[in-house]
Amino acid sequence: MRILYFYQYFATSEGAWGTRVYEFARHWIAAGHEVTVITSVYAKSDLVPGGWISKKNVEGIDLRIINIRIDNKQSKFKRISTFIQYAIISSWYALTMKADVVIVSSGPITVGIPGLVARWIRGRKFAFEARDLWPEGAVKLNLLKGSTAVSLAYLFEKICYNSAHVIVGLSPGIQRDIQKRFPSVRVECITNAANLSLFSDLVARPLNLPVGAYAIYFGNLGEVNHSHYLLDAASILLKNKRSDIWIVLIGDGPLKSELKARVSDEELVNVLMYELMAKTTLVGYIQHALAAVIPLKPIPVFDTSSPNKLFESMAAGIPVIQTTQGWIKDFLADHDVGFTVDGNDPQMLVEKLVYLKDNPGLAEAIGARGKVVAARFFDKDYLAGNMLGILKSVHES
């Protein structure tokens, strides 16, 4: 098959971002298929464009890079303009490039525009990959306001989903939500994945961090990620005289400067903050942590989330502590690989961290189970193969 993939945030393992498209494309190429990815330049990726539009071959992937820079620190207006620019320019490729199956991967949902062009003008088979529930998340966060704008956003979502030959949700919660609202559309689930060889093979610990004495968060530092919750927990740890447990934040985002100021103002000596780093470097920080903390803003729409850090933390062999109340909560409980706490109550997070620190054998056992579970359910090659099977069925239908 010739697969044309529209995704605005492409990165390899040398970047500081999710590598799903990179990993899946490599698997499909190894299976004898052709893959072209149309992307742009994300601040956390490792792409370096060579001009307005660059053409590169990355391990067999035909990569087209539109030199539009996207950064979570940009204003809302600027980010929306980058989404629209990408959608318009990438539609040229939807019109002109040969493809048996076209995949668009959101967010933002504006990536649906080249998918619709390929579907309705060129008659291509069309798969829509839903990484989150959009515009629902934007509405709940008040990022999208006004009855007209909201109505148009939901109308565009409806057009995209009804036009797709298949929708692939990145979590069981996303799959269930979309299937309930669009019962006549085929909806499948392929979660995010983990590179087991990268995250499971033990590497040396960072020299400045003690093994098993810090909780780690890695990723975006923003409102959606409920970043202040981590500092709330750090403050309580100090008040409880548990300075032996550190909080380590690795990443960037719109709240980073605010978080740094708070660490300084409140003298949170048990908090360490690091800049973005490549996944190949990040692995050592994760593997030797006490636990990975995955806080998301406590609103129902995020209960369907499928964060990369969940799968990568399990593959690295450490317990997970998270705040969502949907499928991840059930999954952690069913497989005994972590804990769910209340995102409005940092004291609950503190209690879990103290419990793990004071019971190192238990933490080690939970982490070991996580490795087994990650290998069973979330191996990148296993999930890439499942996705390929879905694309083949769409192509042949």
Q: How does pLDDT run across 353-384, given as a tens digit for each residue?
A: 999 999 999 999 999 999 999 999 999 999 99
Closest CA to 44 of 72, 21, 15: 15
Q: What structural domains does the chain harbor?
A: 2-193+379-396 (3.40.50.2000), 196-377 (3.40.50.2000)
**Residues contacting residue 5 through CB under 8 Å, at least 6 positions apart:** 21, 25, 35, 36, 37, 38, 102, 103, 105
Q: Is it the case that residue 216 has pLDDT exceeding 90?
A: yes
* Beta carbons of 286 and 121 less than 8 angstroms apart: no
Q: How does pLDDT run across 8-59, given as a tens digit for each residue?
A: 999 998 888 889 999 999 999 999 999 999 999 988 888 888 888 999 999 9
**Residues contacting residue 242 through CB under 8 Å, at least 6 positions apart:** 350, 354, 357
DSSP helix/strand/coil, 218:
strand
pLDDT on residue 301: 92
144: confidence class by pLDDT, cuts 50, 70, 90: confident
DSSP helix/strand/coil, 189:
strand
Q: Is it the case that residue 249 has pLDDT exceeding 90?
A: yes
pLDDT on residue 143: 76
Q: Is it the case that residue 283 has pLDDT exceeding 90?
A: yes
Whole-structure pTM value: 0.93
Q: How does pLDDT run across 159-184, given as a tens digit for each residue?
A: 999 999 999 999 999 999 999 999 99
Q: How does pLDDT run across 297-313, given as a tens digit for each residue?
A: 999 999 999 999 999 99
pLDDT on residue 43: 83
Max mean pLDDT among 9-23, 61-75, 315-329 falls in: 315-329
The arithmetic mean of pLDDT across residues 222-229, rounded, is: 93
Mean of the per-residue pLDDT values of the chain: 94
pLDDT on residue 49: 85
Closest CA to 83 of 137, 39, 23: 39
pLDDT on residue 145: 83
The arithmetic mean of pLDDT across residues 283-298, rounded, is: 96
* Beta carbons of 291 and 217 less than 8 angstroms apart: no
Backbone phi, psi, residue 178, to 5°: -70, -40
pLDDT on residue 45: 87
